[in-house]
Amino acid sequence: MPARPFLKWAGGKGQLLPELMTRLPTRFRRYHEPFVGGGALFFHLWNSGRLRGSAVLSDYNPELIACYESVRDHVEELIALLLDLRPHFGDREFFYAIRGWDRHPDFQQRPKVELAARTIFLNRTCYNGLYRLNNRGQFNAPFGNYRNPLIVDPENMREVSRALQQVELHVGDFSAVLERAEPGDLVYFDPPYVPVSATASFTAYTHQGFAEAEQRRLATVFMALAERGCFVMLSNSYTDLARTLYAGQPVHESIYASRKINCDGKKRGNVPELIVCSYEPRSQPVTR
């Protein structure tokens, strides 16, 4: 059974996977994904046997990484906690009670696995899987009103846990990949996209957002890794800024993938996306 993302995450790469897979290098050492989110490409690589070395997954969002840690290290306990939550599916009051935990001073003292169960529960039952914090850092996405949300698929959780056993997890900024990646490693960047238009802006994944300065800083990190001899792959929107930042890379392509294009989740469309690689896919010398 394949391992699938266990969270609904904005910007999930499900639709783009075939395009990304055809552009992988023939072989690579470790795999790094510094904006891991739901981890669609990581799981796909694991399922297809392409991960020969270990992997390093990271993200700026500590609650997200805490979920990955709990699935990796305490999967049975986590499944049991999520199964206990099942009778409360569709219960608005219960949703707001659980959501309100982070308004109490003892919130961070709760066991980590309990916090991960809360994050997964909220992700699955809030409006559209939205991860949104108010300016006090409290989760504030509203109730999703789903009749029968799939909060836990125990078999998938166990498979995900297996996939994560050799994985190093970190919370932090994408630039920390510079401290870890070595020549021959594959780094896949899936940043919050450059907005296609001001109204389509969908960059507020974190308190800080991800503005033009961040996109420029990311391009610098991309070039430094390429220079080092890493295989670097990136997806972004097909916008003037993104195209300019990566102009001249060996792969610089516009592709179309049907995806959610705004946060109400209903608008789907074929929007062009940009894929950039620092190498010619499948024509690299074998690295090991």
- Residue from 174, 189, 222, 238 binding ligand SAM (CB under 6 A): 174
Which residues have a Cβ under 8 Å from the Cβ of 199 and sit 6 or more positions away? none
Verify binding: residue 13, ligand SAM, rule CB under 6 A: yes
Footprint on residues 181-220 left by ligand SAM (CB under 6 A):
190-192, 205-206, 210
What's the closest the beta carbon of residue 17 comes to ligand SAM, in angstroms?
9
Applying CB under 6 A, does 37 fall inside the site for ligand SAM? yes
The minimum distance between CB 206 and ligand SAM, in angstroms, equals 5
By beta-carbon proximity to ligand SAM, the closer residue of 84 and 212 is 212
Among 3, 11, 23, 122, binds ligand SAM (CB under 6 A): 11
By CB under 6 A, the residues from 49 to 88 that bind ligand SAM are 59-61
Shortest approach of ligand SAM to residue 99 CB, angstroms? Answer: 19
Please state the separation of Cα 177 from the chain's center in Å: 15
Binding site for ligand SAM (CB under 6 A): 9, 11-13, 34-35, 37-38, 40, 59-61, 173-174, 190-192, 205-206, 210
